[in-house]
Amino acid sequence: MLAFVADCAAMKLHPGIVAALVLVVPLLVYLRLLHRGRHPSGLMDTPALPGDAGEDDTYTAMAVPVAASRGNLTEFRAEANGVWLNASPLVPDPQYSGALAPEPVLGLVALRATRDALLTAHAGLIASFPRTGIWPVVLVGLDQQFRPWMTGELEPRPSQPWDPEDVLRKGWADSTPEGDDADGGAEPRPLGRPWPGLAAPRPWGAAVPMRLQEVWDTAGSEARLGAIAVTRPANIVGELGWNGAVNFDLDPWAISAVLRSWEDRFGVVLVALGFDTLTFCVPPNSLTDTRAQAFAAEVFALCPDSVSQGAGSIADLATSLEGASSFTLWWD
């Protein structure tokens, strides 16, 4: 800009004209960058933040959780800017997964950055997901090794056609052993009760508002931003071979089948993964009244610890889910 001013002076332009050009030229450059699909910060897409800083100081991104095709991480990495420069590859450890061939790169883990930079990068990938097939997810690690993400404790496997209701029905049966008393409606587990079936769907629109500030606050200061190539956020569990629910003998692709069903019926979208936790965003008014009760039964069937080591009963779990903008599941 100093060189530009010097050139204007050399041409003996009127000082008023020079001042006007100094103001107008940067604006034109900014608009040109936006027109080309690039943010001046170097990010690939301008983030969709309809509420950059709302009354609760929350970033909100509108997510369309379906992509036309699975993204290409090699191309994404080659064009990376901002927090994605020199990002770490997410690769399973062959000794853990038992694979003989070289393991594929499952995703990328962004460099540590300021919260604003991470929020902007996160929102940018959400905005571009339907086109790129690269979904951003917050990664929460266990201990200083940041397990399982930096230790490769992942076990990717070919996709399998699991039926979500079969998965939940089995989880319900496994968590409701026969022979115990089923006393009243506030028991920790609905022992002896038959599987109630899938909850009725709730129209939630074309996009899910995601409060990213809230997601990062919940994840903690050590969380990292990941980028995973998928057509649906729900598929991340299967694609990564996430084994956080291994103690319940849950295949990662079986979990993904249930999460796809939740996306379709309620707009419940996966936003964060930990060593043994999954966090979801929920559209406004998606889980209300009796629908929250029915959905809580599904949550219990997938993650019994949500009741036995959490809410205490399905009724109380439903109360915690009703009207919530997010929730986290934990498997012991």
Same-domain check for residues 26 and 66? no
Q: Tell me, what DSSP letter sits at residue 145?
A: T
**Domain hosting residue 81, numbered range:** 60-330
Please indicate, yes or no, whether residues 179 and 280 belong to a single structural domain of this protein. yes
Question: What sign results for the dihedral spanned by CA atoms 101, 105, 231, 221?
Answer: positive
Q: Does a structural domain hold residue 47? A: no
Q: Within a domain: residue 108?
A: yes
Residue 265 lies in a domain: yes
pLDDT mean over 91-104: 73
> Residue 193: how many CB atoms within 10 A of its CB?
13
Q: Do 21 and 162 share a domain, yes or no?
A: no
What is the model's pLDDT at position 241? 94
Mean pLDDT, rounded, for 35-55: 37
Query: In this structure, are 9 and 116 located in the same domain?
Result: no
Model confidence band, residue 15 (pLDDT cutoffs 50, 70, 90): low
State percent of the chain over pLDDT 90: 58
Residues in the chain: 332
At 160 the pLDDT is 87
Q: Is residue 54 part of a domain?
A: no
Chain mean pLDDT for the chain: 81
Q: Is residue 235 part of a domain?
A: yes
Quick one: average pLDDT of 92-102?
A: 71
* Gap between the Cα atoms of 80 and 82, Å rounded: 7
Answer whether the bond into residue 148 is a cis peptide, omega within 30°.
Answer: yes
- Residue 107 falls within a domain, yes or no? yes
Residue 294 pLDDT > 80, yes or no? Answer: yes
Which pLDDT score is estimated for 185? Answer: 41
The answer to whether residues 136 and 175 belong to one domain is yes
pLDDT tens-place string over residues 172-199: 998 865 544 444 344 445 545 789 999 9
Does the residue 48 lie in any domain? Answer: no
Residue 44 is assigned to a structural domain of this protein? no
Judge if 21 and 109 occupy the same domain.
Answer: no
Query: In the predicted model, is pLDDT for residue 34 greater than 90?
Result: no
Tell me 246's DSSP state: G
Q: How confident is the model at residue 22 (pLDDT cuts 50, 70, 90)?
A: very low
Kindly state whether residues 19 and 84 are assigned to the same domain: no
Count of structural domains within the chain:
2
Q: What is the pLDDT of residues 135-147, one digit of tens each?
A: 999 999 999 999 9
